[in-house]
């Protein structure tokens, strides 16, 4: 499922005017026809010189049964017409689900166009760069691969869960005079809408903040030279649930329904004070059923951004371009309902492209950012899975 695309301008005195395309895939599944068509058209129309795809949950939710299909998908992808001019590739797949202490289900794909001559990849053991030659797929013992850094978050970060597949994979690249890191990330989700509602910020938001801080500290520590970095993947960022619901249902009355045995809250029902006590929102552990989904689509949902606060603690370390696309999650997985949200969670911008200030300065011209870069999405009208958004950074100039 394709969810994020980014295009960055690579033009300097030592690099021919060209384009870097960053694509981020979320929640693994073999893409259906509409998604594949959107993806291949994007690649073929822009002809990027460097193409990166980041995946989470490789093998899908039922990974034990589905992991065997990953290899055939990768082979089909590598042989596709859209990638026939990409004669070098590096594919890293964390497929070893039996190793629960290390399994992250992350997948990172990198494709280099035949016209891009001078590109190297970093060896984290030797601390040197090596020329990228040919196509390689690595799916076993990624921990021993010196071409990447992989880590799973410590168990105590998410004590509510027996185990998780959350973590990150980092690779480092050198393009002529430019060096940068690409980080594939998957942060913790909201396990319960009811728990998320209890506090502001929620316990889940606090956990994600801790995990993201862990990643940033790791990729900027003293072991290696500090370089510009892009982090893109499923951050699982959510709106501040308590503040948002209180605003959304400010004139409604709340009914609390508890279970008979434990007296725990089972559901919250918000009703209009008049209008025959019409239910406007019903909230359960895995239900967020609001009466009018248009609020998340009107003006691309940007009026809700005041409740999107999880990036704020990192404002000095991470930059994001202005969001002008609808919340990326949770879209319907029904192929006939490409624009509809499921009523499982409150829609939110889970999927993002973030960058260090130095990465922004390296690839974009801040004083002219609005004119040179478009941050939007693709596949807006087709089903691409529950994480649909595909933030795309597209330069208006220097595209080959």
**Whose CA is closest to 239, among 339, 391, 349?**
349
The reported pLDDT for the residue numbered 200 is 97
- Higher-pLDDT residue of 394, 189: 189
Listed range (20-24, 91-95, 270-274) with the worst mean pLDDT = 20-24
The pTM assigned to this predicted structure is 0.89
The reported pLDDT for the residue numbered 361 is 84
**pLDDT for 102-141, tens place per residue?**
999 999 999 999 998 889 999 999 999 999 999 999 988 8
- Higher-pLDDT residue of 161, 346: 346
Measured CA to CA, the distance from residue 199 to residue 272 in angstroms comes to 23
Listed range (13-22, 91-100, 182-191) with the worst mean pLDDT = 13-22
**What average pLDDT does this structure show over 159-178?**
85
**Whose CA is closest to 314, among 172, 190, 219?**
219
- Higher-pLDDT residue of 143, 60: 143
Listed range (60-74, 209-223, 328-342) with the worst mean pLDDT = 60-74
Give me the chain's average pLDDT, please.
84
**Burial track 67-77 (b if 16+ CB lie within 10 A, e otherwise):** beebeeebeeb
Measured CA to CA, the distance from residue 81 to residue 104 in angstroms comes to 30
**What average pLDDT does this structure show over 247-269?**
93
**Whose CA is closest to 235, among 211, 259, 260, 268?**
211
Q: Is the pLDDT of residue 205 over 50?
A: yes
Measured CA to CA, the distance from residue 386 to residue 328 in angstroms comes to 8
The reported pLDDT for the residue numbered 380 is 77
Mode of pairing for the β-strands spanning 107-112 and 88-93:
antiparallel
**What average pLDDT does this structure show over 312-320?**
96
Exposed / middle / buried, residue 85 (Cβ in 10 Å: 0-12, 13-18, 19+):
middle
Report residue 30's pLDDT band, with 50, 70 and 90 as the boundaries.
very low
**What average pLDDT does this structure show over 22-34?**
46
- Give the rounded percent of residues in the chain with a pLDDT score beyond 70: 82
Q: Is the pLDDT of residue 176 over 70?
A: yes
């Amino acid at each position: 499922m394709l969810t994020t695309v980014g295009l960055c301008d690579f033009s300097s005195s030592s690099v021919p005017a060209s384009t870097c395309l960053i694509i981020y895939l979320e929640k693994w599944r073999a893409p259906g026809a509409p998604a594949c068509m959107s993806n291949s058209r994007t690649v073929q129309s822009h002809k990027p010189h460097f193409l990166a795809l980041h995946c989470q949950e490789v093998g899908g939710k039922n990974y034990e049964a589905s992991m065997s299909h990953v290899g055939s998908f990768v082979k089909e992808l590598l042989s596709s017409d859209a990638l026939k001019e990409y004669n070098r590739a590096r594919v890293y797949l964390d497929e070893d689900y039996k190793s629960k202490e290390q399994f992250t289900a992350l997948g990172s794909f990198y494709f280099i166009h035949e016209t891009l001559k001078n590109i190297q990849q970093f060896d984290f053991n030797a601390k040197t760069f090596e020329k990228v030659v040919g196509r390689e797929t690595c799916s076993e013992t990624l921990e021993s691969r010196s071409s990447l850094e992989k880590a799973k978050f410590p168990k105590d970060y998410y004590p509510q869960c027996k185990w998780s597949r959350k973590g990150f994979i980092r690779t480092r690249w050198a393009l002529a005079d430019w060096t940068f890191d690409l980080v594939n990330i998957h942060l913790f989700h909201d396990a319960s809408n009811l728990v998320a509602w209890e506090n502001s910020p929620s316990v889940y938001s606090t956990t994600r903040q801790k995990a993201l801080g862990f990643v940033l500290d790791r990729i900027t520590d003293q072991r290696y030279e500090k370089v510009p970095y892009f982090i893109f993947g499923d951050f699982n960022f959510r709106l501040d649930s308590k503040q948002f619901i209180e605003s959304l249902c400010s004139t409604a009355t709340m009914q609390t329904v508890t279970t008979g045995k434990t007296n725990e809250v089972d559901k919250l029902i918000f009703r209009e004070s008049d209008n025959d006590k019409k239910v406007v929102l019903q909230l359960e552990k895995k239900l967020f059923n609001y009466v009018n989904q248009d609020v998340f689509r009107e003006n691309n949902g940007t009026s809700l951004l005041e409740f999107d606060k999880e990036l704020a603690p990192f404002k000095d370390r991470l930059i994001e371009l202005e969001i002008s696309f609808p919340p990326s999650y949770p879209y319907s997985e029904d192929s006939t309902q490409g624009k509809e949200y499921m009523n499982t969670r409150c829609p939110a911008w889970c999927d993002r492209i973030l960058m260090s200030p130095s990465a922004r300065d390296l690839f974009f011209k801040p004083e002219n950012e609005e004119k040179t870069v478009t941050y939007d999405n693709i596949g807006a009208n087709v089903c691409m899975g529950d994480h649909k958004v595909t933030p795309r950074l597209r330069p208006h100039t220097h595209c080959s």
